[in-house]
Chain A
Amino acid sequence: DTAVSQTPKYLVTQMGNDKSIKCEQNLGHDTMYWYKQDSKKFLKIMFSYNNKELIINETVPNRFSPKSPDKAHLNLHINSLELGDSAVYFCASSRRAGGNYGYTFGSGTRLTVV
């Protein structure tokens, strides 16, 4: 069983389109995250949810909107896609927010905006 699963794995779309990425974890973790990895492999936190509540919202354009219907799911919707949004987006989860818990990552969604 995949612990943190993301769909789709690859996403190619045109500028201006709206797209969503889904994430689900079956670990019973309370906290979920979205990270963006750019072409230089830098990882940057975008959002964090704890028990469906948004706790971290970094400086991310308003075109990005996370949604957590329950603590096992954290989806990312992106409006009006731009070329600069091309990256790999990783979902992750941890048992609790903060503290000494490591993360379990999904395998990533490679978004290419053309």
Chain B
Amino acid sequence: AQSVAQPEDQVNVAEGNPLTVKCTYSVSGNPYLFWYVQYPNRGLQFLLKYITGDNLVKGSYGFEAEFNKSQTSFHLKKPSALVSDSALYFCAVRDVVSIFGTGTRLQVFP
């Protein structure tokens, strides 16, 4: 069965510093991987996806993610964090439906 794991419940980073939110996956076959963001009292919003091709995928709001097949990882990154990036981030893998990770709360401090 397909699955993703987000090992960190929370990530804290200072504004202006680079951020990384980790995700590892377990799939049979080629993975379709996604990142979503959830702001308080809102639904999830699609950020980016990896299907095939370049290992570095660029998405919304300056986010990018690096697909690493050997490490089975798909970490979300941003070169310079903003306070407004503070939210809950979900990694997902697509099977017949999307299977979501447990979420990582990103807190960016001024």
A residues sitting closer than 8 Å to B (CB atoms) are: 4, 33, 35, 40-43, 45, 48, 55-56, 90, 92, 97-108
Q: Are A56 and B43 in contact (CB under 8 A)?
A: no
Q: Are A103 and B44 in contact (CB under 8 A)?
A: yes
Residues of B near A107 (CB, < 8 A) are: 41-43
Residues of A near B103 (CB, < 8 A) are: 41-43
Mask, B89-110, CB within 8 Å of A = 1, is 0100011111110110000000
Residues of A near B46 (CB, < 8 A) are: 102-104
Q: Are B97 and A45 in contact (CB under 8 A)?
A: yes
A-B contact pairs, 14 of them (CB 8 A): A33-B97, A35-B100, A40-B102, A41-B88, A41-B103, A43-B103, A45-B97, A56-B96, A90-B43, A92-B43, A97-B97, A98-B95, A100-B51, A107-B42
Is B49 part of the binding interface, using a Cβ–Cβ cutoff of 8 Å? yes
Shortest beta-carbon distance from B58 to chain A in Å: 14
Distance, CA A10 to CA B97, complexed state (A): 26
Q: Are B96 and A108 in contact (CB under 8 A)?
A: no
Q: Are A48 and B97 in contact (CB under 8 A)?
A: yes
Q: Are A102 and B49 in contact (CB under 8 A)?
A: yes
Q: Are B45 and A105 in contact (CB under 8 A)?
A: yes
Report the 6 A-B pairs with minimum CB-CB distance, sorted nearest first. A105-B43, A102-B46, A43-B100, A100-B51, A105-B44, A107-B43
Of A40, A90, A99, A101, which one neighbours B44 at CB under 8 angstroms? A90
Distance, CA A53 to CA B11, complexed state (A): 40
Shortest beta-carbon distance from B45 to chain A in Å: 7
Residues of B near A90 (CB, < 8 A) are: 43-44
Is B34 part of the binding interface, using a Cβ–Cβ cutoff of 8 Å? yes
Residues of B near A43 (CB, < 8 A) are: 44, 90, 100, 103
Mask, B35-69, CB within 8 Å of A = 1, is 01010011111100101000000000000000000
Q: Are B102 and A42 in contact (CB under 8 A)?
A: yes
